[in-house]
A and B are shown apart, each in its own frame.
Chain A
Amino acid sequence: MTRFEPGAKVRVREDCPPGHIRTPVYLRGKPGVVQRYFGAFGNPERLAYNLTGPKKDLYKVRFRAADLWPDYQGSQKDVIEADLYDHWLETI
């Protein structure tokens, strides 16, 4: 059972922990919509230090370019998608 279904509105956790983080800073705190579920994958935040731990659910999340960049010059249809682990996503 996954926490999010496609279409779910989420927000990326606004956080700045040390270490090997695969959540880009430009997406932190930003709202997005879950597109699809990819499965559970090893957590790079642990693997980077040769540590084990539970696998994390991985989702493709879509962000409107205009939500990321207030002065965005392209089309309002433009989106950025990133692959984010469950523990970085909050329900909104």
Chain B
Amino acid sequence: MSGHHHHDHDHDHDHPHAPPQPDDKVHSYHQILSIALKELLIEKGVITAAEVRQFIEKRDSITPANGAKVVARAWLDPAYRARLLEDGNAAAAELGFPITGTKLVAVENTSDTHNVVVCTLCSCYPRDLLGLPPAWYKSRAYRARVVREPRAVLREFGTELSDDVALRVHDSTADIRFLVLPQRPVGTDALDEEALAALVTRDSMIGVALLDGGAR
């Protein structure tokens, strides 16, 4: 798209103009490679631009709210919780969230164990259930540090764990995707499933946050 103006008045008027913003930064080598590959696949008729757009739209429609529903159901229904811990794919599918190509494994926080998830090699994440990972999850800093000094990283997220709590860092190095099943906050006995799901945050399902305050 051209950035040129086609109106013919001079730019000596005094209303404030935002400075023109170039709409793209300089692409990296791999971004250029990916764009070239996409264009070639479209040109050769393997995929269509509409299919690419539909795929992105579908991806973007998956949000942490899906995972929150799984967590809330597991809190309320011990049999569902057992099924979730036994077979994450089947338990997610039960609630209408199909997971394809990877194996979903739920890891449960307890009063003496806290779980946190990373992919040190790239950005593996339970995308079928939680949507796209946050930018920090893909950053080199998080990936390198959470296996090296996990408690310091959690502290930066406002999460303080006592030394009595064993910290378990899950490095997603293969076909397994991990979902942290956070502890149900105290004082929520009266809440129904929908209200409980509303309490469950993305970060608690990655394991960098707690739901009942910042310390344990």
The stretch that binds A, out of B10-18, B37-45, B143-151, B199-207, is B143-151
Q: When chains A and B are docked, how far (Å) is the Cα of A23 from the Cα of B164?
A: 30
The reply to whether B171 and A79 form a contact with Cβ atoms under 8 Å apart is no
Q: Is the CB of B171 within 8 A of A73?
A: no
**Residue A54 CB within 8 A of the other chain:** no
User: Which chain A positions have C-beta within 8 A of B172?
Assistant: 83
Instruction: Point out the residue from A23, A42, A79, A85 that lies within 8 Å of B168, measured CB to CB.
Output: A79
B166 near A73 with CB under 8 A, answer: no
B83 at the A interface (CB under 8 A): no
By a CB distance below 8 angstroms, the chain B residues around A26 are 120, 147
Which residue from chain A places its CB closest to the CB of B118 in the assembled complex? A80
Q: Is B170 located at the chain interface by the 8 A CB criterion?
A: yes
Is B56 interfacial (CB-CB < 8 Å)? no
**Chain B: CB-nearest residue to A76:** B163
Given A22-B121, A24-B121, A80-B147, decide whether A73 and B173 contact each other with a Cβ distance below 8 A: no
How far apart are the CA atoms of A41 and B103 in the complex, in Å? 10
Chain B residue with the shortest CB-CB distance to A69: B148
Contact yes or no, A83 B149, CB < 8 A: no
With a cutoff of 8 Å between Cβ atoms, the chain A residues found around residue B170 in the complex are 81-82
Q: Which residues of B contact A85 (CB under 8 A)?
A: 174
- What separation, in Å, do the CA atoms of A65 and B165 have in the docked complex? 14
Fill in one digit per residue for A18-39: 1 if any B CB lies within 8 Å of its CB, else 0.
0000111010000000000011
* B121-A81 in contact (CB<8A): no
A35 to B60 Cα, complex, angstroms: 34
Tell me the nearest residue of chain A to B171, going by C-beta: A82
The closest CB in chain A to the CB of B154 belongs to A74
Task: Give chain A residues whose Cβ lies under 8 Å from the Cβ of B163.
Answer: 74-75, 77
B120–A24 CB distance below 8 A = yes
Tell yes or no: B152 within 8 A of A by CB: yes
Question: Across the interface, do B173 and A75 meet the contact criterion of CB distance under 8 Å?
Answer: no
Question: Does B169 reach chain A (CB closer than 8 Å)?
Answer: yes
Q: Looking at the assembled complex, report how far the CB atom of B59 sits from the nearest CB atom of chain A, in whole angstroms.
A: 22
CB distance from B10 to the nearest CB of A (A): 57
B169 near A83: Cβ-Cβ < 8 Å: no
Whether B23 sits at the interface, judged by CB under 8 Å, is no
* B170 to chain A: closest residue by CB: A81
Residue contact B173 to A83, C-beta cutoff 8 Å: yes
* Residues of B with C-beta under 8 A to A42: 175
Tell me if B166 and A77 are in contact (CB < 8 A): yes
Asked if A5 is at the interface (CB within 8 A of a chain B CB), the reply is no
Smallest Cβ-Cβ distance to A42: which chain B residue: B175
Give min CB distance, B140 to chain A, whole Å: 14
Is B174's CB under 8 angstroms from A41's CB?
yes
Residues of A within 8 A of B168 (CB): 78-81
Q: List 13 A-B contacts (CB under 8 A).
A: A24-B121, A24-B171, A26-B120, A73-B151, A74-B150, A75-B164, A77-B167, A78-B167, A78-B168, A79-B167, A81-B169, A82-B171, A85-B174
